[in-house]
Structure formats: C-alpha cells, structure tokens
C-alpha cells in the first residue's frame, strides 16, 4: 500500500524542493520547539528564484507503556535500551506512561487469563486511587506492584 503525504493545499501542485525539519526540544521546556530560521530563509530565497518550495516541520514523540501483564525483566531492559538508542540516535521526545487497568477492560474482567492480581475491585477503589501514581492497583506474574513502579520510574528518568 502506498501512502501519499499531502503537504500542499493544491493536490496538483508539484514541488521542486521539500525541506523536512525535525525540531529539537530545549532543555528549559520540552514544549518549546526550535526551528532554525535559516531553513525558512533558504526556502524563501528559493521561492524568489522560482523554485516551488515547502518546509515541513515534524516533531517526533515516542510513547512507551510500561507495566503490561506479560512484561518481564528482559522486556524492561530491552525497553530501556531502545529508549537510550532513540534518544542518542534521533532528535526525539520520549514519554513513558504506566499501564492502567480500567474497569470493564479484558484484563480487569479476566485477570487470571492475563496473569494479573487486582487490588482495585470496586468503583470506590478506583475513585480513591485515581490520581495516586504510587499505586497501580495490580501486580503481575512477573512483577509486584512496587517493582513495576520502580521500573516505570527508572524508565521515566530517561525521558527527554
């Protein structure tokens, strides 16, 4: 299957030059993206010379979920290595989030099938622990709840 990236309002427009920019995040805030003005100035100069040019600004964000039911120590180490590789090789923002078990999800309804032991069993259990990041509300065959929280914190320290 071929995918076509539409970067122009005019579908029939032929571009002579496309600049793809992947912005770097600053140390002060991950929400501030920097685009060197040289790219825009060069695109403007080429347009003045009759070269049909566009600047495509791409930000790369990679998201990881940690604490999945079948995740084991080897998986966590592979995730750590992958995050380090992505950060060192590419200009990207990495985000690590804990897996959350919601009422009526298959893992919640059939915990034994997924190797999960639930701690939250009622609506009030969920309500009382909703924003508590030190309580996932479950453990797996591979990790206790405390070990999963340690894994999440270790991987979140790699974020940038």
Q: What is the pLDDT of residue 75?
A: 95
Residue 46: predicted pLDDT: 72
Cα 111 to Cα 146: distance, rounded to the nearest angstrom: 18
pLDDT at 24: 57
User: What is the residue whose two structure tokens read 């501030």?
Assistant: 32
Position 5 pLDDT exceeds 50: no
Mean pLDDT check: name the lowest of 7-11, 28-32, 74-78. 28-32
Query: Cα separation of 83 and 56, whole Å?
Result: 25
> pLDDT higher for 71 or 60?
71
Reduce the DSSP state of residue 97 to 3 states and report it: strand
Mean pLDDT of the chain: 78
- Let me know how long the chain is: 160
CB contact at 8 A, 36 and 54: no
Does residue 160 surpass a pLDDT of 90?
A: no
In this predicted structure, what is the pLDDT of residue 121?
84
Query: Residue range 9-24: average pLDDT?
Result: 60
Q: How far is CA 32 from CA 35, 68, 101, in A?
A: 10, 31, 32
pLDDT digits (tens, 9 = 90+) for 92-146: 788 999 988 888 889 999 999 999 999 988 888 888 877 666 788 899 999 999 9
């Amino acid at each position: 299957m071929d995918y076509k990236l539409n970067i122009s309002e005019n579908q029939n427009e032929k571009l002579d030059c496309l600049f793809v920019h992947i912005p770097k995040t600053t140390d002060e805030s991950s929400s501030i993206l920097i685009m060197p003005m040289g790219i825009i100035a060069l695109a403007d100069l080429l347009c003045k010379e009759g070269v049909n040019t566009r600047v495509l600004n791409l930000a790369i964000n990679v998201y990881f979920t940690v604490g999945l039911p079948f995740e084991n120590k080897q998986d966590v180490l592979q995730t750590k290595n992958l995050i380090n590789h992505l950060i060192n090789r590419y200009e990207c923002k990495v985000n690590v989030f804990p897996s959350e078990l919601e009422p009526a999800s298959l893992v919640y309804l059939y915990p034994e099938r997924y190797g999960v032991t639930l701690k939250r069993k009622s609506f009030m259990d969920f309500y009382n622990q909703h924003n508590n990041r030190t309580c996932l509300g479950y453990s797996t065959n591979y990790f206790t709840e405390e070990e999963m929280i340690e894994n999440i914190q270790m991987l979140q320290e790699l974020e940038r």
